[in-house]
Structure 1
């Protein structure tokens, strides 16, 4: 679950986001084990409701490498200049909807790794 706070939030509406999550929870509990979803909620006291949406091909923010050295990496988050694809989770979220998207789960695969003693 993500709360869409943008780049310069002045308030965080966690209670409203928690209400959305609690409202979706009964649906999720009825789904098969291993179901993976992405839930995005606008950072607002109220939203337009929850809608199922496809994932946008790109997010609405972009992380870029701004500086690096042998000891650190500095990243910057920037708004993307393009508009989100109509009907995508990013577009619906920007329009005040909470969005729920089903994801293909990544499952665990045992590797059989055994640490060596030093």
Structure 2
């Protein structure tokens, strides 16, 4: 749960509502993020943080897909394709379909 809330807090930092500024901040914190979200369960929790942030801040919706793609990029490797696919499969099973589901689907399709 801490890993989830930490990423929610990261996303809520001032300026992160603009993709370019968010990408720069991710790059600035890349090593820290890679280390903190090293294990598979932590990668999953990071994605849950994106889901929580979106649910409380719908204006984040246009940035979700690009943010996840940026985090999985080979030069960053903060999250893995497997973590994204596992997370998406869990979202599909959830009876309360989240607003993030179509965005997660778009990411998974782009990764395939």
In which range does the TM-score fall when normalised by the shorter chain?
under 0.3
Name the one with the larger helix percent. 2
Task: Please give the TM-score of this superposition, normalised by the length of structure 1.
Answer: 0.23
Name the one with the larger strand percent. 1
Higher Rg of the two aligned structures? 1
